[in-house]
Amino acid sequence: MKHSYLLIFLAFSLSQLFSEKLLAQHRVKGIVTDHTTGQTIIGTNILEKGTSNGTISDLDGSYELTVASSEAVLEFSFTGFASQEIPIAGRATVDVVMSEAITLLNQIVVVGYGTQRKSDLTGAVGSVKTKDIERIPTANIEQALQGKIAGVYVAPSSGVPGAGAVIRIRGTGTLNNANPLFVIDGMITYDASFVNPQDVASVEVLKDASAAAIYGSRGSNGVIIITTKSGVKRDHAVISLTSYYGTQQVTKQISMANATEFATLYNELRGQSYFPDPAALGEGTNWQNEIFRSAPIGNVQLSANGGTEMFSYNFSANYFAQDGIIKNSNFERTTLRLNLEYKLNSWLTLGNNISYANVGTQNSPDVITSAYRMPPVFAPRDSTGDFTDPTFFGLAIANPAADLYYKSNNHGKGNRLFGNIYAQVNFLKDFSFRSNFGFDRKNSQGKYFEPKFEVSASQRNVQDRLSVSYSLGNDWIWEQTLNYNKDLGRHHISVLAGYTAEERASEYFGASRENFPGTADELLYLSAGNDTTQQNYGGAVDEALVSYLFRLNYTLMDRYLLTVSFRRDLSSRFKEANRDGNFPSFSVGWNLGQENFVQNMGLFDRLKLRFSYGILGNQASASAYPSSGVVTSGLYGVFGPNEALNQGAILTSLANPNLKWETSRQTDAGLEIGFFKNRLELETDWYNRYTYDIIAAVPIPDYVGSQSDPVVNTAAVRNRGWDFTANWRQSGKFVWNIGATVSPVKNEVIKLAQGRNEIFAAFIQGEPASHTEVGQPIGSFYGYKVAGIFQNEDELATLPKIGGEQVGDVRYADLNGDGVVDGDDRTNLGSPIPDLIYSFTAGFEWKGIDFAADFLGSQGNMVFNAKKTFRFSVYNWEKSFTKAWTEENPSDTEPRITNGGHNYRVSDRFLEDGSFFRLRSISIGYSLPIAMLEKAKISKLRVFAIGNNLWTKQDYSGYSPEFPNGGNPFEVGFDNGGYPVAKSWQAGIEVTF
Amino acid sequence: MHKSYRNTWMLIGAAMLLMTSCKKDFLDRKPKGQLTYDTYFQTEDHALWATNAIYQNFRSWEMCAFPYIGITDIISDDADKGSTENDGLPLLQIDNFTFDATNEMFSLSWKGTYHTIFRANQAIENIPNIDMDEALRARLVGEAKFLRAYCYFRLVQWYGDVPIITSLLSDDEYFTQTRRPVAEVYDLIEKDLLDAAAALPLKSGYATADLGRATQGAAKGILAKLYMLKKEYDKAETQCLDIINSGEYSLLPKYADNFAEASENGAESIFEIGAVAVQAAVAGPGATPFNMIQGVRGVPNLGWGFNRPSDDLVSEFEAGDPRRQATIIYVGEVLPDGATIVQDNPEILNERYNQKAWVPAHAGLQDNGPGNIRILRYADILLLAAEALNEDGKAADALVYLNMVRARARGSNNFILPEVTTTDQAELRTAIRHERRVELAMEQQRWFDLLRWGIAGERMRAVGKDFVDGKHELLPLPQAEIDLSANNLKQNPNY
């Protein structure tokens, strides 16, 4: 057999390892069949153990191979089936029956600093494999996780092209920075947005304390371990090409008043006919159409995967490009990945996983808000072709079309080199030592040029200006871990001990100049500008963490499982006295399925009980130096006849030197069941997570004098809930699966620190819209309840009111019944935290056709439509205002048209149901029969089409109820208008050689 | 044992040792490019910088723009909101007395003033411990005390009882503060000002480059105002006469010059906050929004046109009083830069602007305001002296100072602004009040004067504002502040 490998992606030196070295000595043949269906299996990999000699089973499932000796061992492997090693033992025919691997007990799951058999797990770990991820084309792995694992809530952080996601594991709104920790091939980061989903072999979500405790101080929000694909030993390289292309649109538009309605409302507001004939204005301009567009998205991925006994490799090159659904925004990224592993000898292995990403973006200005507010009576451009000056009663909103035109010369570039290099030494039979160095080097630059222009007095730039910014990030981690693994028949012991140190540092600077000699791209460098206008700034941030870790796993007779772990972390974010954090956990498991009395029942193929308890930490906070009061400089005093700037510097905000670790105690009880030959799998977990000393900045009275709120250990919150997962997988000629995850959670504040009874936050027009008190969910909405509308003078005179209302105004409820409406009548109005998140999946494969659909939903969360509460005289109205109260058409729900004031107080009037149910993705593919492909040396050719977010059921009036606000748990669920999520469809092709 | 194993063990041991030994240094991280509080206040430079930073906050939006102008001029009978009909609605509520405790002007002014106090407290607490030139140390503490006192003086007049904060609070003190009685606030102001007056040099005692720092005269000036508020006229008289007799100040020959850039920190100036527009497209670090919000609306001045002199103010001026022209910009008027004529802006009703906040074209955009914010000038002290003397029954002495102010306004035109000659206390009181209004119009004094005279309600109702006696003499505490204080702060009556 002769193969010639054209590995255009690999260095020459690597290809030398694939030299040919076969001597025919023994010939073996056979047929491969499926255990469940009895059908033959096409395409099974068959390899002579310890060599690169192998073949693939053909159309009839039969194979033929010449091996070195009649005593050779054959390895049979096929995706989805358990691999087998079979000694030939002199036979000429070796027939093999393959069994499905999906639910096999020895499925390997990646856990922190190692792997474990799924059957040995005592913690709650959710696992997603490459196949489930690949189907949904997204720019990054974070978004691809949506709806995949019970208890994991993923929402797009925004629709900005290339943006990452906000992820909450087991309960939103628990902590200041509730984003989980990502561990990518051992390197720790909070930003996995650069990871190309197609490079990912598996994603494991460590949900409970037992699983996450090994990440101690940063495990309390859960840990997501991403393992990228490594090379697989086989006789030839698998080369794949995948490409797709598609288009995206905004999922929905907000229903706004048209020109006629706007003019009518405006006349009503001003009590005069400012617009003499509203009907003549017709529809006017739909400003959303002026900023949104249909935008293409595309991806090409080439990969090569293979290996020998000594060496394995996975190489990929990827180009992803996405235009934003808002004009003038786009994202493109080129990623290269090289994962290598060398087994140098019997005791030493070296390897690396390295990825390089190059990103380019164009950023559009924020036109979503101005498009929402712009009156429809204006056209984007006037009759002369100039941008319309929408000044109106002396006020103007920025014309979004003009902003897009003048403010889009805003580009970003970046490079990121991320990866790890490791060495592993196996010694004394049961020991191994691993030293892993991970690194994350980033540079990014931004360049923004704003030309001189004038649209209106408030939308103009009198001086053209170029601003540039540069930053350099350098994070590294060095881990030393020692493993002991001992199998003593009935007993299995494994011990892990380790020491890690890590540093995260970044440095930045920026500069600007004005007055450029032209606007051509080649002139837009700082030196071309006027040096008397130059400004610059620069700074740096760094932090460090040192940790000790230990874990013991003990298994008795594969039935009784025990895990004990401990981590000690020392963080630079805290002063020395509070620096140490100790995070122990223990967990036990019982594989009941292995017990005779269960096996005798003949009902369960698998039955396992798990229980875990542990303590985890969190050091997330607003800055790397929350404990240090920073002296702000540049606060100049101006003195003397020359009006000199005299340096001024002082503390302007309080720090908290007493800040300490945020801690959570987590209890988890789990049950895993397999029925019907593991076709039906059920997994359920109950958990109770008590998080205390929550680190967050909460508002303090202004008389304290601090310009920003100090970060404090503020509250204790309990998240209690269930994760249910059910899956049915049916194999055979018609392979199909259905599954569901359901995660009810209850969030409750148990205690507030600093002797406080309540925490107010999210102030809107002088009143808090968020309220946190013991017994309620954290960050509940707060305000007045609308009781109705004052319909007449009589009601105005007799019913409780605040004072100053007029007929047609909102009548707020006098909840305490004291006859007046005042601050004491404000109450909790609902929670932004869903009671329930859930997902469904369904799919089938039949005669080369594959189909899959994912649904996802949330129930019981409220949204505060904050953008609707800001009124300025010339803003447009949402359509709902056309039902406003008038004398002719009195309304019970919509007050008369006013500009801000009483009717816009924080109340349930602006609160909407945020529940939704969405078809997250749907895909259909067709794989050509192998018989047609063989001659072209193609092992797989699949064409596919995918739709994302094609259908959503939501009551919410905004673009999407999924718009998680930053990290502050006291200010969640406020829609201030953000880049909306897109729906999209793509078609593509996948070829494997 | 295999040789390589031994090497491995040694490697592991060495690595662990190496990393453990430098753990403390590795974990001690400091903010970069920034000083931290625990190593601050150690040098003379620190003392100086800290003090300068207190002045800076008087140029903040909270302390000199909407919130400040709103509850000094716009709330009074001197000015209307201005700008276009629907612009700045919170200010309209203040103008019309339809505001409640959620109006953001209160929370902003409250917040900004306490931010300044926060800075002053640091300087007062820490500078005395710095090993440095003693005279400079005393002066800097004096400056800080003056600025703190002036902050509390604003607060107590607006809100009445307020929390007294004189140090950096620790986290167990954030929520436990209560409003302290007005008398206690007065005591703090008096003590700070007396200390400041003792420590601060005369205006002439400063090096030229330090012109604009708080002086003994400034401290005594605010002290005089405090005593007037407390109706301790003899004490007020003493302070005023100290200033008058110090020979440090004089009236500028031409009234209008007081508001020109050339006269910043001039002979008549007792205290003002320095500002400068450095060359920058955006607001420079020495700029103030004070000029922008009151500037002539539209091109080329690019002001916002708030704080419009009211009809009532216009009618207060005596016939021919040149101060009216110096105070108010009318449509068609040629501005002091000699070039600009104010164009009619049909969107602004009854278009007029505050000329005292007007600045000629300057570098950068509109928010890059270069004009110093005048806080206290000599004419104010002369009129306070007259008022104190008259209230103490020394009408003849009072007339001297009153007529000094009128004489300057009159200039060489003997047909206007005749000398006041009455020695009847009530008549003279009326004359002095009239004089204060026209002399200091649009200089953020009127509301405090009305409160001090106890005639705010009467005057407000006279101009058609819905002033409620027993309520509107004090502004409401910001609702947000009451919510945040765990109800340790109680609202003013009737809000």
Q: Per the CB < 8 Å rule, is A650 touching B50? A: yes
pLDDT at A143 > cutoff 80: no
Please tell me the least confidently modeled range out of A300-309, B205-214, B230-239. Answer: A300-309
A-proximal residues of B, 238-267, CB under 8 Å = 264-265
Please tell me the least confidently modeled range out of A730-734, B112-116, B464-468. Answer: A730-734
- C-alpha distances (whole Å) from B211 to each of A57, B59, B147, B274, B486 are 94, 17, 16, 9, 44
Residue B232 within any structural domain of the chain? no
Single out the residue of A721, A786, A716 nearest to residue A754, CA to CA.
Answer: A716
Q: A871 and A904 in contact (C-beta within 8 Å)?
A: yes
Q: Per the CB < 8 Å rule, is A635 touching B57? A: yes
Q: Average pLDDT for residues A179-198, to the nearest whole number?
A: 79
Q: Per the CB < 8 Å rule, is A636 touching B285? A: yes
A393 contacts on B by Cβ (under 8 Å): 84-86, 347
- A513: tokens are 């100049």
Give the number of A-B residue pairs with CB atoms closer than 8 Å.
301
Please tell me the least confidently modeled range out of A859-863, A874-878, A937-941. Answer: A937-941
Q: Is A533 on the interface with B (CB under 8 A)?
A: yes
From-to residues of CATH 2.60.40.4130 in chain A: 23-98
Q: Average pLDDT for residues B239-257, to the nearest whole number?
A: 96
Of B36, B265, B484, the CB nearest to A699: B484
Q: Per the CB < 8 Å rule, is B35 touching A538? A: no
Measure the CA–CA gap between B487 and B474, rounded to whole angstroms. 19
Q: Per the CB < 8 Å rule, is A639 touching B347? A: no
Q: Is B319 on the interface with A (CB under 8 A)?
A: no
Highest mean pLDDT among A328-337, A485-494, A710-719, B389-398: B389-398
Q: Report the domain count for chain B.
A: 1
pLDDT in tens, A514-557: 999 998 999 999 999 999 888 899 999 999 999 999 999 898 88
pLDDT band, residue B19 (cuts 50/70/90): low
Q: Would strands A734-752 and A758-764 be described as parallel, antiparallel, or unpaired?
A: unpaired
User: For position B279, what pLDDT does the model report?
Assistant: 62
Please tell me the least confidently modeled range out of A28-37, A277-286, A543-552, A581-590. Answer: A28-37
Single out the residue of B151, B195, B371 nearest to residue B277, CA to CA.
Answer: B371
Q: Which amino acid is present at B128?
A: P
Candidates B7, B8, B122, B211: best to mutate against A (most CBs of A within 10 A) is: B8
Kindly identify which residue of chain B lies nearest to residue A450, measuring between CA atoms. B281
Residue B209 within any structural domain of the chain? no
Q: Is B162 on the interface with A (CB under 8 A)?
A: yes
Would you tell me how many other CB atoms lie within 10 Å of the CB of residue A177? Answer: 20
Candidates A651, A698, A869, A871: best to mutate against B (most CBs of B within 10 A) is: A651
Q: Is A705 on the interface with B (CB under 8 A)?
A: yes
DSSP A159-201: SSTT--EEEEESSSS-STT-PPEEEETTEEES--TT--GGGEE
pLDDT in tens, A613-670: 988 887 765 577 878 888 999 999 999 998 999 999 999 999 888 888 888 888 989 9
Kindly identify which residue of chain B lies nearest to residue A500, measuring between CA atoms. B19
Q: A661 and A626 in contact (C-beta within 8 Å)?
A: no
Please tell me the least confidently modeled range out of A593-607, B42-56, B132-146. Answer: A593-607
Kindly identify which residue of chain A lies nearest to residue B9, measuring between CA atoms. A433
Q: Per the CB < 8 Å rule, is A638 touching B54? A: no
Of B19, B163, B298, the CB nearest to A501: B19
Q: Average pLDDT for residues B454-468, to the nearest whole number?
A: 94
If you average pLDDT over every residue of chain A, what do you get? 84
Q: A503 and A528 in contact (C-beta within 8 Å)?
A: no
Contacts of A864 (CB under 8 A, 6+ apart): A769, A781, A832, A910, A911, A912, A973, A974, A975
User: For position A15, what pLDDT does the model report?
Assistant: 35
**Cα of B285 to nearest chain A Cα, Å:** 7
Q: Is A518 on the interface with B (CB under 8 A)?
A: no
pLDDT band, residue A913 (cuts 50/70/90): very high
Domain A23-98 fold: Immunoglobulin-like (2.60.40)
Q: Average pLDDT for residues A30-40, to the nearest whole number?
A: 72
Q: Average pLDDT for residues A885-902, to the nearest whole number?
A: 88
Q: Is A631 on the interface with B (CB under 8 A)?
A: yes
User: For position A12, what pLDDT does the model report?
Assistant: 35
Q: B403 and B428 in contact (C-beta within 8 Å)?
A: no
Candidates B37, B296, B302: best to mutate against A (most CBs of A within 10 A) is: B37
Domain that holds residue B74: 41-200+467-495
Q: Average pLDDT for residues B205-211, to the nearest whole number?
A: 95
Q: Is A347 on the interface with B (CB under 8 A)?
A: yes
If you average pLDDT over every residue of chain B, what do you get? 91
**ipTM (interface pTM):** 0.93
Q: A384-406 b/e with 16+ CB inside 10 Å = b?
A: eeebbbbbbebbbbbbbbbbbbb
CA pseudo-torsion sign A17, A19, A25, A31:
positive
B49 contacts on A by Cβ (under 8 Å): 633, 647-650
Residue B109 within any structural domain of the chain? yes
B-proximal residues of A, 870-929, CB under 8 Å = 872-874, 899-901, 905
Residue B479 within any structural domain of the chain? yes
User: For position B374, what pLDDT does the model report?
Assistant: 96
DSSP A292: B
Q: Is B480 on the interface with A (CB under 8 A)?
A: yes
pLDDT in tens, A149-173: 766 777 666 667 776 667 777 655 4
**Cα of B119 to nearest chain A Cα, Å:** 7
pLDDT band, residue B469 (cuts 50/70/90): very high
Q: Is A709 on the interface with B (CB under 8 A)?
A: no
- ∠ CA B51-B56-B60, nearest 5°, is 150
Mapped onto helix, strand or coil, the DSSP state of residue A686 is strand
Single out the residue of A190, A167, A179, A184 nearest to residue A220, CA to CA.
Answer: A179
User: For position A164, what pLDDT does the model report?
Assistant: 66
Higher confidence at residue A52 or residue B238?
B238
- A960: tokens are 């999407």
Residue B103 within any structural domain of the chain? yes
User: For position A966, what pLDDT does the model report?
Assistant: 56
pLDDT at A601 > cutoff 70: yes
Q: Is A795 on the interface with B (CB under 8 A)?
A: no
Of A393, A628, A703, the CB nearest to B30: A628
Measure the CA–CA gap between A523 and A539, rounded to whole angstroms. 27
Single out the residue of B356, B333, B386 nearest to residue B255, CA to CA.
Answer: B356
pLDDT in tens, A968-986: 778 888 888 877 878 888 8
Of A532, A637, A642, the CB nearest to B52: A637
Measure the CA–CA gap between A548 and A543, rounded to whole angstroms. 17
**Cα of B216 to nearest chain A Cα, Å:** 17
Residue B475's CATH number: 1.25.40.890
B48 contacts on A by Cβ (under 8 Å): 646-647
User: For position A423, what pLDDT does the model report?
Assistant: 93
Q: Would strands A758-764 and A767-773 be described as parallel, antiparallel, or unpaired?
A: antiparallel
